[in-house]
């Protein structure tokens, strides 16, 4: 909301500078988003008169002007506009002037002609968004006068963001009341106005059926208005306050609303049929709003109707057909109090916002319902003539939010704020409209009807805090509590320690991306109002986000990528939804770049597997990787599920080539994820004495059927077999060599197994290792039909 | 010439010949050979000693002495020559093994935490050290926890300010993506009361939040940290104390704070919190728009209706609460100009900010 400084000064005799007023407003809780200084912004622009005008010899569209700006000499100015003649008065930006658009006026040469200033349009003066040429000033404008002074531009305009609890300050009078109270000044009295009533003008017939939602409704007929545009000063004021002039009547109503906070509506009396009824809408009742939208109303919406149709959605918007237009002669003015919650709900239902609804849903000042109507009557008749009828009054404004009484404990407020409440500040609150009385610790408060936001002791604590100022409250550290700090979640930190860059991606992805890794099963959680299709479904896989990050980076000359993300996956469940915590990894491209010490190396399955194993080891866990061809989106034969104990905790594998290409990635991509919720705490490291006697290391090389090895057995099975057969002394088993090719039959693979035997109490003998070897050879033969390689 | 003089001369010749040979030796192997040739069992000195037999018995000890003298002279000279050669050989080897120490080191891939994560870690740690317990809550919430319990009834204009994402119907009630971490306040208080019966409680709740707003300065997903404390006699002065300590610790310098009255439905009084501009120390710059102050978070004393909604007696207990935007604070601390960089995840950005 924008309020010109002069409007405030009409209400309170403020003497402070705009900057000081802005500080005061902030301290009182009214956020100032900016202070425009329209007059200062055009300082240096003066009223000039065109003495002569000649075409520029070298440019068709330029004119050479001699302009009198009241200085000793005439100014030569080259001008590109065409709407001016000799003798016209125009605004001239003199040398050294900075215009609102940032342009600094310097002496210059334009096509060989010197130019000592610039003639301005409304746009250049910051007065309008568009203009057709120079601003031609009235003939009586005094030459040489500052244009800002001549046009009586505002010294300052405050751009305010009024908080939703302070509906009473969404107008000049309310804001002025806060400032006056704070500065110890009085508000200027409002002169009462009663229009002269013409008995021939009938009072409108009004019935209010929905009294709860509309506790007061006032209407009055004005007949025979000669409608025209509102006067220039009013239009300028409205524009200054951020509103658009519409027509004479609407402008007056807006002007009064900005002044007093009471939104009003005017109907074309000749377009109404029969009496007015304020009632709840019927289900599916139709309403064609002023903004062109056609609404099917819900039962309970509050509407204003005539005999035939809905003429307004109460407090929000009038109908397209019942409003005033240029041809309107007779009007019905409406001024009412609509229940804030009612307006708010209806407004949200149809996603409508109007200046009126913003005020009604925050609560207007009941006293202004009638005063506003009188003010509007006064201005309309003064500007456009017409004769005025009696007001039809339904309800009683003095009963709305009638002065509520409240008492509370002063010490309780003091405890809440951490300061004492000096009695002197009571006067500030009194000037703000509160009734304040103290009896020892008891505070009796009468709350003014326009303060819909105050009802309990805590509300008064805020009132006291803002008038005393938050700066008065000391900074005190409370006694520290001592709690057992939770075991920190180091999941992502350990992944980062493993060489991965942590990324953070959005929790919503596209449905298309979801389907790449998760089959449609009705358990997607979709947003009703997504930003776009690309962000419309809550993710059930972290891999899509990682692939998008990979695409972004591989497209930017990164030769390889290793990233990890910790976040949640969201699934619909039978009785609601769940949010799983996952850690996900992705590797693609080079895992080692070409260096002086070695060639580049492409990331492979085992790089990522190693990273996941190291991550598990860091928390005392060991995973079993079981080949699994059924993981959606991963390439069969290069994918596995990860078991921890019996729990299926994660997945790993190579992203299907077509999917990778869909993300513009043509190198192999490997991904993994671990469901952090199923991880139990791993084994805690326990001390065991270190072996003092040397171990015995033996290598055995077996020939296995290739198909049996890869598809059925796998090295895990071989290690298990060796571990089991090796007996108690066996401490470590490792596959140290895999070979196929020359010297090995085509359907076979040579597998080298190294095992270590060790005993805590003695040095082992040849006999020990021979026995173990024999047992292992036998077991390998039995389990896999594997023979020792000769 | 007497026999003894001839032997003496022989010894002298031998000795000077040997010394010359030693100093001319070019490697340890030839020196070793010389040791054998001169001092060995069958070496030249031994040969001289054999001639002693021809001498009369009384002269023998004299020659013996000479020989022994020569032996120690030569042995010492050999040791010196050997040591000299060893030093030279080592120097040669060291020179041969010289490397270019300016070549880059061999490193595996280095990771980095996301700047938001670092911010979250730092902030949570500060509050943990002050005795605040860490709590989390669901990101898909119901209206009760996100709005109603926080004193934002359905018709409240503040609901419209939240730009809420709603999810399609599932279960019995409408669900939404939480617009702030404040619902964790409600959940944590309920859980805590069930466990402990009554306050005090102090909680820090970090997490992701969502607003349906996407432009240069808004991301539809961002991170907040919610902090609150409920106890007997908690006052606005405590709020200011905790804010001051937190902000000064986080920014690693003493920062001044300013509270401005504001409106949040769940606090009363409510205040926006500004810090003295960390870039210009309050002198006025582009970042603080020449005001010397930067808005960092919203705060206030918990509204009695919020305490009531979880069954805490607001006559007996009071509390403060504040919620801060993690990205905003990280941007201020690290000088990051654009919110969108956090979610673009350009690895060059992540590496730079992660160090």
Residue B217 reports pLDDT greater than 90: no
* Average pLDDT value for residue range A203-231: 95
Report the gap between the CA of B183 and the closest CA in chain A (Å).
16
- Residue B229 sits at the vertex; the CA angle it makes with B226 and B231, to the nearest 5 degrees, is 165
CA distance B128 to chain A (A): 7
Please indicate, yes or no, whether residues B146 and B227 belong to a single structural domain of this protein: yes
- Do residues B62 and B119 share a domain? no
CATH number for the domain harbouring residue B180: 3.30.930.10
CB contact under 8 A, A528 and B272: no
Q: How far is CA A264 from CA A132, A176, A241, A355, in A?
A: 34, 21, 18, 10
In this predicted structure, the answer to whether residue B3 has a pLDDT above a threshold of 80 is no
In tens, the pLDDT along A608-667 reads 999 999 999 998 999 999 999 999 999 999 999 999 988 999 999 999 999 999 999 999
Looking at the complex, does the CB of residue B236 fall below 8 Å from at least one CB of chain A?
yes
Tokens linked to A560 = 């390889």
| Chain B 268-287, residues with CB within 8 Å of chain A CB atoms | 268-272
Residues of B in contact with A340 (CB under 8 A): 155
CB contact under 8 A, A344 and B155: yes
Of B155, B258, B345, the CB nearest to A549: B345
Per the structure, the complete domain to which residue B274 belongs is given by 115-354
In the predicted model, what is the mean pLDDT of residues B159-172? 84
User: Which residues of chain A make contact with B351, given a CB cutoff of 8 A?
Assistant: 501
The closest CB to that of B235, out of A345, A416, A499, belongs to A416
Residue B55 shares a structural domain with residue B197: no
Q: Return the DSSP state at A598.
A: B
Stretch(es) of chain A classified as CATH 3.30.70.380: 696-788
Domain presence at residue B198: yes
Whether B155 has a pLDDT exceeding 80, the answer reads: no
Query: Which residues of B fall within a CB distance of 8 Å from A618?
Result: none
Question: What are the distances in angstroms from CA B96 to CA A82, A133, B99, B307?
Answer: 87, 85, 9, 78
Distances (CA, A) of B300 to A33, A55, A739, B268, B337: 21, 67, 70, 6, 29
- Does residue B101 sit within a domain? no
Residues B200 and B343 placed together within one structural domain of the fold? yes
Which of the four pLDDT bands, split at 50, 70 and 90, describes residue A387?
very high
Question: How many Å apart are CA B141 and CA A554, to the nearest integer?
Answer: 36
Residue B242 at interface with chain A, using a CB cutoff of 8 Å: yes
pLDDT at A59 over 90: no
As a whole number of angstroms, the distance between CA B256 and CA B262 comes to 19
Chain A contact present for B289, CB below 8 A: no
* Inter-chain CB proximity A418 and B237 less than 8 Å: yes
Q: Please write the tens of the pLDDT for every residue from B267-279.
A: 999 999 999 888 8
Q: CB pairs under 8 A, 24+ apart, for A653-662?
A: A653/A605, A654/A605, A655/A543, A655/A547, A659/A516, A659/A547, A659/A633, A660/A547, A660/A588, A662/A516
**CA separation, residue A214 to residues A253, A304, A353, A357, B56 (Å):** 20, 10, 19, 14, 151
3-state secondary structure of A762: coil
> Angle A424-431/A172-183 helices, nearest 10 degrees?
160
Closest residue in B to A591 (Cα) is B109
State the average pLDDT over residues B104-130: 91
For residue B19, the model assigns a pLDDT of 87
A393-438 pLDDT, tens digit per residue, is 999 998 888 878 999 999 999 999 999 999 999 999 999 999 999 9
Q: Which residues of A touch B235 (CB under 8 A)?
A: 415-418, 476
Tokens describing residue B56: 């009369």
Given a contact cutoff of 8 angstroms between Cβ atoms, the answer to whether A628 and A641 are in contact is: yes
Over 70: is that where the pLDDT of A439 sits? yes
Q: What is the pLDDT of residue A711?
A: 64
pLDDT of residue A305: 96
Clarify whether residues B171 and B284 are in a common domain.
Answer: yes
Question: Sheet of A696-705: strands edge to edge?
Answer: A730-739, A748-757, A696-705, A787-788
The answer, for B354 touching chain A at a CB cutoff of 8 Å, is yes
What integer best gives the mean pLDDT of chain B?
Answer: 90
The confidence band for B46, taking pLDDT boundaries of 50, 70 and 90, is: confident
Contact B202/A at CB under 8 A: yes
pLDDT at site A684: 78
Is B208 at the interface with chain A, CB within 8 A? yes
CB contact under 8 A, B210 and A538: no
How near does any CA of chain B get to the CA of A226, in Å? 39
Interface touch B168/A526, C-beta < 8 Å = yes
Q: Where in chain A is the domain with CATH 3.30.56.10?
A: 2-37+156-183, 404-472
pLDDT score at B57 = 82
- In this predicted structure, what is the pLDDT of residue A151? 87
What's the domain count of chain B? 2
CA distance B341 to chain A (A): 11
Give yes or no: residues B82 and B185 share one domain: no
Q: Is the pLDDT of residue B282 over 90?
A: no
| Whether residue B75 is found in the same domain as residue B125 | no
Confidence of residue B1 (pLDDT cuts 50, 70, 90): low
Per-position DSSP letters for A204-265, written without gaps between them:
PPEEES-TTT-SEEEEEEEE-----PPPHHHHHHHHHTT-----HHHHHHHHHHHHH---EE
Residue B101 contacts A, CB cutoff 8 Å: no
Position B181 confidence tier, pLDDT thresholds 50, 70, 90: very high
Chain B residues lying within 8 Å of A165, measured CB to CB: 263
The pLDDT score that the predictor gives to residue B342 is: 96
**Measured between CB atoms, does B114 come within 8 Å of chain A?**
yes
* Together in a domain, B338 and B198: yes
Verify that B15 and B136 share a domain, yes or no: no
**Is residue B110 in some structural domain?**
no
CB contact under 8 A, B260 and A500: no
Query: Is residue A277 very low, low, confident or very high in pLDDT (cuts 50, 70, 90)?
Result: very high
- pLDDT score of A500 more than 90: yes
Contact between A556 and B130 using a beta-carbon 8 Å cutoff:
no
Nearest by CB to B343, from A504, A596, A597: name it.
A504
pLDDT beyond 70 at A484: no
Q: Is B181 on the interface with A (CB under 8 A)?
A: no
A683-730 pLDDT tens trace: 777 888 888 888 899 999 999 888 777 666 688 889 999 999 998 999
Mean pLDDT of A78-87: 90
Chain B interface, mutation test: which of A465, A539, A578, most B Cβ atoms within 10 Å? A465
Same domain, B126 and B274: yes
Shared domain for B153 and B52, answered yes or no, is no
CATH class held by domain A696-788: alpha beta
Q: Specify if B104 maps to a domain.
A: no
**A362, A453, A458, best to mutate vs chain B, most B CBs in 10 Å:** A458
Q: Could you name the CATH architecture of A2-37+156-183?
A: 2-Layer Sandwich (3.30)
pLDDT band at residue A240 under the 50/70/90 scheme: confident
Query: Which pLDDT value is given to residue A296?
Result: 95
B positions 49-88 inside 8 Å of A (CB): none
User: Would the pLDDT of A487 be above 80?
Assistant: no
Contacts of B28 (CB under 8 A, 6+ apart): B82, B85, B86, B89
Question: Average of pLDDT values for A286-301?
Answer: 93
Fold for A404-472, please state it: Phenylalanyl-tRNA Synthetase; Chain B, domain 1 (3.30.56)
**Residue B197 forms contact with A (CB below 8 Å):** no
- Which of A28, A417, A507 is the closest to B208 by Cβ? A507
State the Cα–Cα distance between residues A217 and A204, nearest whole angstrom.
11
Question: Please, what CATH class does the domain formed by A491-678 belong to?
Answer: alpha beta
CATH level 2 (architecture), domain A39-150: Beta Barrel (2.40)
Instruction: List chain A residues with CB under 8 Å of B340.
Output: none
Which of B50, B67, B96 is the endpoint of a domain?
Answer: B96
Q: Which residue's entry shows tokens 């509102």?
A: A230
pLDDT tens digits, one per residue of A109-119: 888 888 899 99
SS3 of A288, please?
Answer: strand
B343 interface with A at CB cutoff 8 Å: yes
β pairing state of A576-592 and A601-602: antiparallel
Residues B111, A500: C-beta atoms closer than 8 Å? yes
With left for phi above 0 and alpha for psi between -120 and 50, is residue A269 left, alpha or beta? alpha
The number of beta carbons lying within 10 Å of the beta carbon of residue B317 is 19
| Closest-CA distance of chain B to residue A185, Å | 22
Q: Does B292 touch chain A (CB under 8 A)?
A: no
For residue B298, give both structure tokens.
Answer: 């919203």
Domain with CATH 2.40.50.140 in chain A: 39-150
Handedness of CA A612, A616, A622, A624 (dihedral sign): negative
pLDDT tens by residue, A759-781? 988 888 889 899 999 999 999 99
Measure B89 CA to nearest chain A CA, in Å. Answer: 28
Q: Which residue of B has its CA nearest to A342?
A: B155
Instruction: Say if the Cβ atoms of A29 and B263 lie within 8 Å.
Output: yes
Fold (CATH) for A206-399: Phenylalanyl-tRNA Synthetase; Chain B, domain 3 (3.50.40)
Return the residue of A nearest to B142 by Cα. Answer: A576
Answer whether residue B53 is part of any domain. yes
Strand, helix or coil for residue B217:
coil
Q: Which helix (H) or strand (E) holds A164?
A: none
Pair (B131, B41) in one structural domain: no
Boundary residue ending a domain (B64, B96, B128): B96
Measured between CB atoms, does B212 come within 8 Å of chain A?
A: yes
Of the candidate ranges A235-239, A772-776, B49-53, the one whose mean pLDDT is the lowest = B49-53
Q: In A, which residues are within 8 Å of B159 by CB distance?
A: 348
Position A754 confidence tier, pLDDT thresholds 50, 70, 90: very high
Q: Mean pLDDT across chain A, nearest whole number?
A: 92
Least CA distance to A465: which residue of chain B? B269
- Give the percent of chain B with pLDDT over 70: 99
Share of chain A above pLDDT 70, in %: 99
């Amino acid at each position: 909301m924008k309020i010109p400084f002069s409007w405030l000064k009409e209400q309170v005799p403020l003497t402070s500078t705009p900057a000081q007023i802005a500080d005061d407003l902030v301290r009182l809780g009214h956020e100032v988003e900016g202070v425009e200084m329209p007059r200062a912004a055009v300082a240096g622009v003066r009223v000039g008169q065109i003495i002569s005008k000649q075409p520029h010899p070298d440019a068709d569209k330029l004119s050479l002007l001699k302009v009198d700006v009241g200085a000793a000499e005439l100014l030569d100015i080259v001008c590109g506009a065409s709407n001016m003649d000799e003798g016209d008065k125009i605004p001239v930006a003199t040398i050294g002037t900075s215009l609102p658009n940032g342009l600094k006026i310097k002496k210059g040469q334009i096509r060989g002609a010197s130019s000592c200033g610039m003639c301005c349009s409304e746009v250049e003066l910051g007065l309008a968004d568009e203009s057709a040429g120079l601003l031609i000033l009235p003939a009586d404008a005094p030459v040489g006068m500052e244009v800002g002074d001549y046009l009586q531009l505002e010294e300052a305009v405050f751009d305010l963001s009024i908080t939703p609890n302070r509906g009473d300050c969404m107008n000049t009078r309310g804001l002025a009341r806060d400032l006056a109270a704070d500065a110890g000044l009085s508000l200027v009295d409002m002169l009462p106005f009663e229009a002269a009533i013409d008995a021939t003008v009938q009072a409108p017939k009004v019935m209010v059926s929905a009294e709860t939602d509309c506790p007061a409704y006032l209407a009055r007929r004005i007949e025979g208005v000669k409608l025209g545009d509102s006067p220039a000063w009013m239009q300028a004021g409205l524009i200054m306050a951020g509103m658009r002039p519409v027509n004479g009547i609407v402008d007056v109503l807006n002007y009064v609303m900005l002044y007093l906070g009471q939104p009003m509506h005017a109907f074309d009396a000749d377009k109404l049929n029969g009496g007015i009824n304020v009632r709840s809408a019927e289900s599916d009742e139709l309403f064609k709003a002023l903004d062109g939208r056609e609404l099917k109303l819900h039962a309970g919406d509050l509407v204003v109707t005539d005999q035939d149709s809905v003429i307004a959605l109460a407090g929000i918007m009038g109908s397209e057909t019942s409003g005033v237009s240029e041809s309107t002669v007779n009007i019905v003015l409406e001024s009412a109090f609509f229940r804030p919650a009612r307006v708010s709900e209806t407004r949200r239902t149809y996603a409508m916002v109007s200046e009126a609804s913003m005020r009604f849903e925050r609560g207007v000042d009941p006293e202004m319902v009638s005063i506003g109507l009188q003010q509007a009557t006064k201005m309309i008749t003064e500007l456009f003539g017409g004769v005025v009828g009696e007001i039809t009054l339904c309800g009683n404004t003095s009963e709305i939010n009638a002065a509520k009484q409240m008492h509370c404990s002063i010490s309780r407020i003091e405890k809440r704020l951490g300061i004492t409440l000096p009695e002197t500040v009571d006067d500030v609150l009194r000037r703000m409209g509160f009734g304040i009385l103290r009896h020892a610790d008891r505070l009796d408060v009468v709350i003014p009807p326009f303060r819909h936001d105050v009802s309990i002791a805590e509300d008064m604590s805020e009132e006291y805090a803002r008038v005393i100022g938050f700066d008065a409250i000391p900074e005190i550290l409370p006694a520290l509590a001592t709690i057992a700090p939770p075991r920190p979640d180091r999941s992502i930190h350990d992944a980062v320690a493993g060489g991965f860059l942590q990324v953070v991606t959005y929790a919503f992805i596209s449905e298309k991306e979801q389907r790449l890794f998760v089959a449609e099963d009705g358990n997607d959680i979709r947003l009703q109002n997504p930003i776009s299709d690309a962000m419309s479904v809550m993710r059930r896989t972290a891999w899509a986000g990682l692939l998008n990050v990979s695409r972004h980076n591989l497209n930017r000359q990164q030769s390889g990528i290793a990233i990890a993300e910790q976040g949640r996956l969201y699934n619909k469940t039978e009785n609601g939804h769940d949010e799983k915590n996952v850690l996900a990894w992705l590797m693609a491209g080079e895992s080692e770049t070409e260096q002086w010490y070695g060639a580049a190396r492409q990331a492979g399955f085992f790089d990522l597997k190693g990273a996941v194993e190291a991550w598990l080891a860091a928390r005392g866990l060991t995973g079993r990787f079981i080949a699994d061809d059924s993981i959606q989106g991963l390439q069969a034969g290069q994918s596995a599920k990860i078991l921890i104990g019996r729990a299926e905790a994660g997945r790993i594998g190579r992203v299907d080539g077509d999917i990778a290409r869909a993300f513009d990635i043509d190198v192999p991509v490997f991904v993994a994820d671990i469901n952090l919720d199923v991880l139990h705490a791993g084994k805690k490291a326990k001390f065991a004495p270190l072996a003092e006697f040397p171990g015995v290391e033996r290598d055995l090389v077996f020939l296995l059927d290739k198909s049996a090895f890869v598809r059925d057995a796998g090295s895990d099975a071989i290690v298990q077999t060796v571990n089991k057969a090796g007996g108690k002394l066996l401490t470590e088993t490792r596959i140290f060599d895999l070979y196929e090719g020359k010297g090995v039959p085509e359907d076979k693979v040579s597998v080298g197994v190294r095992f270590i035997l060790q005993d805590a109490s003695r040095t082992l003998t040849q006999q020990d290792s021979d026995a173990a070897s024999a047992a292992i050879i036998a077991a390998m033969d039995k389990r896999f039909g594997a023979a020792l390689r000769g | 010439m007497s026999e003894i003089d001839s032997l003496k001369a022989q010894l002298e010749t031998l000795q000077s010949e040997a010394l010359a040979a030693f100093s001319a030796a070019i490697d340890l192997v030839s020196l070793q050979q010389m040791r054998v040739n001169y001092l060995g069992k069958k070496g030249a000195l031994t040969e001289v000693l054999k001639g002693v037999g021809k001498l009369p018995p009384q002269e023998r000890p004299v020659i013996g002495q000479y020989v022994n003298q020569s032996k120690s002279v030569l042995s010492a000279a050999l040791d010196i020559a050997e040591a000299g050669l060893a030093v030279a050989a080592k120097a040669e080897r060291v020179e041969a093994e010289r490397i270019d120490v300016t070549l880059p080191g061999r490193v595996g891939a280095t990771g980095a935490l996301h700047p938001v994560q670092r911010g979250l870690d730092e902030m949570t740690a500060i509050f943990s050290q002050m005795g605040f317990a860490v709590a989390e809550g669901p990101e898909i919430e119901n209206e009760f926890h996100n709005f109603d319990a926080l004193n934002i009834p359905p018709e409240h204009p503040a609901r419209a300010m939240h730009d809420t994402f709603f999810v399609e119907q599932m279960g019995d009630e409408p669900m939404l993506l939480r617009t702030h971490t404040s619902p964790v306040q409600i959940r944590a208080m309920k859980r805590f009361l069930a466990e402990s019966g009554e306050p005090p409680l102090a909680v820090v709740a970090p997490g992701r939040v969502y607003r349906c707003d996407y432009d240069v300065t808004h991301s539809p997903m961002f991170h907040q940290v919610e902090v609150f404390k409920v106890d007997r006699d908690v006052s606005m002065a405590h709020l200011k104390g905790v804010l001051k300590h937190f902000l000064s610790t986080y920014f690693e310098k003493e920062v001044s704070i300013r509270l401005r009255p504001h409106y949040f439905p769940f606090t009363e009084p409510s205040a926006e919190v500004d810090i003295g501009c960390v870039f210009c120390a309050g002198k006025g710059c582009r970042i603080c728009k020449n005001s010397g102050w930067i808005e960092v978070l919203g705060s206030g004393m918990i509204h009695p209706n919020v305490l009531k909604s979880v069954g805490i007696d607001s006559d007996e207990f009071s509390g403060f609460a504040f919620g801060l935007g993690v990205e905003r604070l990280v941007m201020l601390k690290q000088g990051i100009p654009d919110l969108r960089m956090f979610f673009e995840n350009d690895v060059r950005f992540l590496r730079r900010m992660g160090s």
